Amino acid sequence: MQVRNWLYGYGVCALMHLFAIAADLYWLRIITKPLLMIFLLVWFLSATPTISTGKKHFITAAIFFSWLGDLFLMRSGELYFIAGLVSFLIAHLFFILFFLWARVATLTQTPLNTGVILVLLVYVGVFYYYLSPHLNYTLKIPVLVYALVIASMFAAACHSFRKQGGVLIGAGLFIVSDSLLAVNSFVKPFPLASLAVMITYILAQVLIVYGVTGWFETTKRYFSI
């Protein structure tokens, strides 16, 4: 199977999953959702054959824990929601570690962008203030920690991959997707919420991983393969 076909597989699977949501086909949703990250991971590994496994393990782990989070969030109940939250939190931590490693590996000297950090902190503060009254006691701290971590993920991407627009857009879409999910889950369900959450999530994942794959190809000179 040609390498690019795995990426096409991701796209086809994504369209099928979105169709399943729109048509309310639960059986198709439970088939397609677990396949999304599998297609993306196989494509990423196949598209970077000359890069040593050790240099790809952060992204591999991020995709794996995203897949695990998808599985947990397919189930209902607070316990599964928390498990999904923790899984995605770990995924974002691995993205952060990769972005920081990439910054060091290429000796990127991008200065600290205090404006971006301030905007992210304001967003987290305002959004958490908006959500907090709707959260039960057991979720208040986990949700706050998660919000800070995903904001940190965007900040790390901004300071390490500012020239890779796809990565930045993907990181931003992750914040949008998680924000929509939080509003729909805790505040008030809104029309087409599942579609909006999944469209932004699907695009976020593929833009980050596609951008990272391109980065590996253009920065080989900075580290031994």
**Distance from C-alpha of 7 to C-alpha of 76, rounded to nearest angstrom:** 30
Summarize pLDDT for 12-46 with one digit per residue, the tens: 999 999 999 999 999 999 999 999 999 999 999 99
Question: Could you give the residue ranges of the DSSP H alpha helices within 106-164?
Answer: 114-131, 137-160
pLDDT, one tens digit per residue, over 149-207 is 999 999 999 988 877 789 999 999 999 999 999 999 999 999 999 999 999 999 999 99
SS3 (DSSP) at 1? coil
Cα 123 from Cα 102, distance rounded (Å): 26
Confidence (pTM): 0.93
Separation of alpha carbons 124 and 121, rounded Å:
5
Considering only CA atoms, give the Rg of the chain.
18
